[in-house]
Amino acid sequence: MWATPAAPGAVDEKVSPMTGKFLPRESYLPNRPGYQLLPFRFERWSGDEILLVNDVGELVFLAADLFAALVAHRLEPRETTYSELKAKHFLADTSPSVPIDLLATKYRTKKSFLDGFTKLHLFVVTLRCDHSCHYCQVSRVNEARSKFDMSAETAERAVDLMFCSPSRVLKVEIQGGEPLLAFERIQQIVALCEERNVHEGRALEFVIATNLVPLSDEMLEFMRQHSILISMSLDGPELLHNKNRPRKGNDSYLQVLRNLTRAREVLAHDRVSAVMTTTKESLGCPTEIVDEYVRLGFVSIFLRSISPYGYAVRTGEALRYETDQFLAFYKAALDHIIEINRRGINFVEVYAQILLTRILTPFATGYVDLQSPAGTGVGAVAYNYDGGVYASDEARMLAAMGDESFRLGSVHDNSYEEIFGGETLRALIAGSVLETLPGCADCAFLPFCGADPVFHWRTQGDIVGHRPTSAFCVKNMAILRHLLGLLRNGDSFVRDLLTSWATGIRSHPVAGAEGVARP
């Protein structure tokens, strides 16, 4: 510890004038009585405990009597809890400008996803698809209907519009339908982006979201040359995958595995990731789905529920299970993932990782569904095959159902300023700031959660929605409580594991030696 030099002629009250040594701890406590409460939210956690969370996501659990003392300004500075609350900016006993400035810095860091505006740009190059998945969120068409492909002119105008974004980072995600059925358009978009970027100097990243079945050697070589990532669909073991994702010949699973091997050989193992969707059939086999991902060498899984859009609504698939059923599935799968890690295999659940990053670190995440204001238009935008520009991929799916509420404009008819400065996007942003929304403004989980105005419009007829009956809210609050419970009450291995998912730092030794540890 360092002593602060006293001004000339002054007496440093923290240092003994006789010995020059520091005085006891009590000498450093506030000279004036009382303290100021800084903004925080709270809720009863369990029994005799209260959870407190401030605006930047710092949290602390307090016994009910200590909480009562805190809010009554009776908490003694000698209490260990007092020091923790001061360090985490729940109270201030000095000039309030110092902790407020520190809080402002942390708050800016949490909101850094707003820097540069729109980073993720989704190009829907075709609605054609060779699968007929019952839960499909888009309005797909059969392979022969090429009129639902993006034209060369539309692609060029969409790329021009994308480069109007001030962001230094541009992520191009190419979707469908099945985008590989319009591979010529993919080649054009990549070429246009790279040519334009010679002068722009942006950080460019390309991802193709595909079922992987139409993959050819030519496509793989193109992806290798242009450092394109693959995001593929895999719902679990063979019987489940084929049932969820039917195609002519009922061989989707075998085709996926064959092309997964080829893609890894050409692009590298870590250039191919997978996503799954939880159907009613999936609910009964959480461990089997996770084991399939581990068996195939994946290092993570995103446990995703069905979204209420597109073909999933027309078939009734989106309504076939309740939120509590998904939550039971999710928790069972997460428990199994923890046990897999105990056996020495590093494997991550991605949605938990996103939430834990928000809970345990000062950093923002790029996941647009968990942002305030929402990432619609601000974090991501979708360019449809016909040139329509939508505030999110879900907004584009909603338009395919006949609701154009969140169509921002067209690449053919509107300027960048008209699309991103128009009333539609302004209303979405204003209606998705959690700090102003009823049911969210006073919620203890606000710093960890987000707003999904398109989902609430679709399910409740309002971009704000009614939080107590919102499936989005129920799901996220349940998962957040579960993760906080594991951090609070789990053994040291579990706490260390979850912390490592958020921070990338693993300090606890891996229990056991079975399996192969993966980075």
The per-residue DSSP string of 141-162 comes to: B-TT-GGGBPPHHHHHHHHHHH
- The span from the CA of 95 to the CA of 445, in Å, is 28
Coil, helix or strand at residue 191: helix
Please report the pLDDT score of residue 206 as a whole number.
Answer: 98
- Please tell me what DSSP assigns to residue 208: E
Residue with tokens 């995958």: 241
Q: Which of 14, 11, 9 is nearest to 25 (CA)?
A: 14
Please report the pLDDT score of residue 513 as a whole number.
Answer: 29
CB distance 381 to 391 below 8 Å: yes
- The span from the CA of 212 to the CA of 209, in Å, is 9
pLDDT in tens, the chain (519 residues): 333 333 333 334 455 544 556 767 665 555 445 899 999 999 999 889 999 999 999 999 999 999 999 999 999 998 889 999 999 999 998 877 788 899 999 999 999 999 999 999 999 999 998 877 777 655 555 555 568 899 999 999 999 999 999 999 999 999 998 999 999 999 999 999 999 999 999 999 999 999 999 999 999 999 999 999 999 999 999 999 999 888 888 889 999 999 999 999 999 999 999 999 998 999 999 999 999 999 999 999 999 988 766 544 444 444 445 889 999 999 999 999 999 999 999 999 999 999 999 999 999 888 888 999 999 999 999 999 999 999 999 999 888 888 999 999 999 999 999 999 999 999 999 999 999 999 999 999 999 999 999 999 998 999 999 988 999 999 999 999 999 999 999 999 999 999 999 998 765 444 332 332 222
CB distance 467 to 502 below 8 Å: no
- The span from the CA of 313 to the CA of 235, in Å, is 19
Please report the pLDDT score of residue 5 as a whole number.
Answer: 35
- The span from the CA of 411 to the CA of 259, in Å, is 35
Q: What is the CATH number of domain 118-295+307-319+363-427?
A: 3.20.20.70
Give me the helices (H) in 72-166, please: 80-87, 97-110, 152-162
CB distance 62 to 110 below 8 Å: no
- The span from the CA of 5 to the CA of 413, in Å, is 67
The distance from CA 394 to its chain's CA centroid, rounded to whole angstroms, is 15
The distance from CA 247 to its chain's CA centroid, rounded to whole angstroms, is 31
Cβ-Cβ contacts under 8 Å for 413 (sequence gap 6 or more): none
The model's pTM is 0.87
CB distance 472 to 453 below 8 Å: no
Please report the pLDDT score of residue 33 as a whole number.
Answer: 54
CB distance 496 to 506 below 8 Å: yes
Residue ranges per domain, the chain?
26-110, 118-295+307-319+363-427
Q: How far is CA 14 from CA 2, 11, 176, 335, in A?
A: 11, 9, 68, 51
